[in-house]
Chain A
């Protein structure tokens, strides 16, 4: 079927807001789209998570749980200054510690492996490793290593970075790309000058830490020239690339396995210093070596959502129509990173002809940022939505009505339509579920609780847009075993999102098989074809079409074989629940009866993910509504309830999707109220390095959550009609909560997180 088409084409692919030109493969055939009304059995069902019981039994196979025969354990020694030069490292006492096997210093590391750089550029940078028979011994020995570092001047804030010299060697300027990122459409200055109403707000958001429960970890084991790496990762193939490059060995000699992993949220996309240290020590010792970072390092040295200062100016007509959006932002990235800033959201979220974003990304002497669930958008939404609330107040307009008036019906950044965008329905359905109050029932003066007159209630709303189309390259293989059971094989991984379950449901659907006869095999570069990282809300939208195509390919072979056995044409056959039936007759065979007759003649199918449409943008949109209670005596904010309604195309498994939506909302709640990595700017050191001082939400913080996805499908996006959901979930939560707090108090608190002391400070005399 592919004969008339070109098999490889160049197209644009979008990842985390960045657009790249890539060569992609056009699939050999394209199944007919599953539209919104397609009669599907397994897809859309609340199937149980495939490995749910395994997780409840505590046996999923996390990297940090591995105990290979002869396994040794490594621990890092880290710099305790933000900048300096390593002068000496004395490992004498550490080597003498009982159980210690080896120490790894910069001089022991091959030149091509970036590890233990003597130029220290942030506090927490690893400078050496110790390896021992037990983790306990390795940790104890690491504490005995004496490191002498000659301190150098440093910068940990944007202001310090802009005023001082380069924060690391081989850097011309501390501003990324030497200048601010400025993107403008229309003429913002002219539009603001002509606007009937103008509001400006300054907003700060905190540096937030991913805080996955399983720390970054690798176990490395050599067998001759071949290396197996077990890694807690969001991307087994990308880890394989990184390891092969760092060690200078062929890709075919590296196998990366991730059977289960304890959370990533954007911080586990690459091989890291722990991977390289484990690989090098394992080679030196001839034993498997685990390197798992400790909690302090997990919090300090594995990535973060950088803090942001944003100044937003909105111009509008008296009827609420936006005429100008202007953003100035300053972001301290850390010692490395990329421009995952808030700007993009401002060009996408609301219809507006004149938009300008001016973002300054500065390198500073703190650990590098990493993508963290909707990087840029989560912090951008806080500032944009606070400004929208201010505009609504200035206009005397309902904040929800203002948003509904400025609905973006096409992608203004790329000037093209969306494949589907039902944000208007999300607003309406969310308002209905929430019971969005009219103006008389909002604001600080509405009837208080007589028993607790110091407690005020408020409501807020915020919206979201995020690119969720997924895309190629992504492959899947479906193969029948001789008993009729099926393996669905993909080089993907499960972060806790339910990748296995989704693959199982899609393949069972396309095959017409029973769900319990289909099993996903993922998380091993040696056993399955390539799939990309689980990032950018891409996994399901990339994998589901590939899995469906592989299953349909396998089904076609199965039917050809069955047709011969039944003496009919393949077109006469249909499949359901693992049974092949000759249409309009009672003649049938089970899948197992066919495959048993075939023995080891293999029925298998291959699927590849085709390119996305080039003339339309694929996004998930949604709106969230928050109700809060603020104690004006203590400053404590309690979120009472969140209603979330999102349009994510077809939902493969509503239970898993709701779990992920609730998780995003709860992370957003933490971002709004508690989470903040504090720095001592004078010393250049992080202050709250554990989970006691860096507060993530606990069970006691959880509101009533009503998370809902609109029914439907997006067959324009891909032939399974699915889009992504992971990152959209977190974006509107914090701004909805901030809006609700302002509504409760009648005073804006525009610096997050909304801690008690910030709330009280906003209520202090003179601030009202």
Chain B
């Protein structure tokens, strides 16, 4: 089969059980999406499939045939950063940086759908991405900064039409969860 990764069609032959994350990291060498929990709890593996943010660790590679997969490697580079990447650097929105690719892709999906998000919309879109360094306040500032930059420059930020059901839901606030 062929997979469209960051706009390039690549021939791949994953096993039926291979996740998109393992395919990206171990077969294609695209290690931006991280394997931090491998069970849909942390968001470090977040990539875009047809413009929607999904957990690559909960997505089978075969589910992505004929769909448009985008990873942090396709977002931009250090020489030509995407406005989100520039904003994350400018606002110091990465400490250890391990969750950052997932944060960026969740933010990219949000801004494609919602160019001027409220704080509540940012929280709803991104609370499925954990950051143990506690960089959250700076992440929110970076997303706002990138949103403003994107609105000012009006580049084509469409990353494919949103379709299909997402496999990630916001974690929400812990305070409301029935745990402990």
- The answer to whether A263 touches B133 (Cβ under 8 A) is yes
A159, B2: Cα distance in complex, Å: 60
Closest chain B CB from A286 CB (angstroms): 21
> Within 8 Å of chain B (Cβ to Cβ): is A30?
no
Those of B88-103 within 8 Å (CB) of chain A: 88-90, 92-101
Which of A57, A211, A294, A295 is the one whose CB lies under 8 Å from B72?
Answer: A57
Chain B 123-152: CB-based contact to A (< 8 A → 1; otherwise 0): 100111111111111111000000000000
Closest to A690 in B: B41
Closest to B172 in A: A700
* Chain A neighbourhood of B92, CB < 8 A: 48-49, 52, 655-656, 659
* Chain B neighbourhood of A690, CB < 8 A: 37, 39, 41
A665, B96: Cα distance in complex, Å: 16
> Within 8 Å of chain B (Cβ to Cβ): is A335?
no
> Within 8 Å of chain B (Cβ to Cβ): is A317?
no
Residue of A214, A638, A678, A693 with most partner-chain B CB within 10 A: A214
- The answer to whether B135 touches A662 (Cβ under 8 A) is yes
Closest chain B CB from A655 CB (angstroms): 5
A55, B176: Cα distance in complex, Å: 32
Closest to A699 in B: B127
Closest chain A CB from B99 CB (angstroms): 5
> Within 8 Å of chain B (Cβ to Cβ): is A613?
no
A54, B72: Cα distance in complex, Å: 12
Interface of A is mostly: loop
- The answer to whether A213 touches B136 (Cβ under 8 A) is no
A367, B90: Cα distance in complex, Å: 40
> Within 8 Å of chain B (Cβ to Cβ): is A691?
yes
Chain B 28-71: CB-based contact to A (< 8 A → 1; otherwise 0): 01011011111101101000000000000000000000000001
Closest to B180 in A: A755
- The answer to whether A666 touches B134 (Cβ under 8 A) is yes
- The answer to whether A56 touches B88 (Cβ under 8 A) is yes
Given A56-B94, A262-B96, A699-B140, does the pair A214, B81 have CB atoms closer than 8 Å?
no
- The answer to whether B123 touches A700 (Cβ under 8 A) is yes
- The answer to whether A213 touches B132 (Cβ under 8 A) is yes
* Chain B neighbourhood of A692, CB < 8 A: 39, 41
A194, B174: Cα distance in complex, Å: 46
* Chain A neighbourhood of B129, CB < 8 A: 699
A-B contact count (CB 8 A): 219
Closest chain B CB from A651 CB (angstroms): 14
A753, B179: Cα distance in complex, Å: 11
- The answer to whether A496 touches B96 (Cβ under 8 A) is yes
Closest to B139 in A: A699
* Chain A neighbourhood of B22, CB < 8 A: 134-136
- The answer to whether B26 touches A64 (Cβ under 8 A) is no
Chain A 213-236: CB-based contact to B (< 8 A → 1; otherwise 0): 111000000000000000000000
Those of B140-175 within 8 Å (CB) of chain A: 140, 170-175
> Within 8 Å of chain B (Cβ to Cβ): is A636?
yes
A55, B29: Cα distance in complex, Å: 17
- The answer to whether B36 touches A214 (Cβ under 8 A) is yes
Closest chain B CB from A578 CB (angstroms): 23
- The answer to whether A698 touches B172 (Cβ under 8 A) is yes
- The answer to whether B41 touches A496 (Cβ under 8 A) is no
Closest to B140 in A: A699
* Chain B neighbourhood of A756, CB < 8 A: 175, 178, 180
* Chain A neighbourhood of B111, CB < 8 A: none
Chain A 633-650: CB-based contact to B (< 8 A → 1; otherwise 0): 010111000000000000
* Chain B neighbourhood of A705, CB < 8 A: 137
A212, B71: Cα distance in complex, Å: 22
- The answer to whether B174 touches A701 (Cβ under 8 A) is yes
> Within 8 Å of chain B (Cβ to Cβ): is A67?
yes
* Chain A neighbourhood of B90, CB < 8 A: 48
Can you give 30 A-B contacts (C-beta < 8 A)? Answer: A48-B90, A49-B92, A52-B94, A54-B78, A54-B97, A55-B94, A55-B100, A56-B89, A57-B75, A57-B76, A57-B85, A58-B31, A58-B71, A64-B34, A67-B31, A212-B132, A261-B96, A292-B35, A295-B39, A496-B95, A634-B176, A673-B175, A674-B174, A697-B134, A698-B127, A698-B172, A698-B174, A699-B139, A700-B174, A755-B180
Knowing that A57-B75, A62-B34, A698-B173 touch, tell me 8 more A-B residue pairs with CB under 8 angstroms: A53-B89, A54-B97, A294-B38, A496-B94, A496-B96, A670-B174, A699-B139, A700-B174
Give the interface of B toward A (CB within 8 A). Answer: 17-18, 22, 25-26, 29, 31-32, 34-39, 41-42, 44, 71-73, 75-78, 81, 84-86, 88-90, 92-101, 104, 122-123, 126-140, 170-180
CB-CB nearest 6 A-B residue pairs: A262-B98, A496-B96, A666-B134, A55-B97, A58-B32, A663-B134
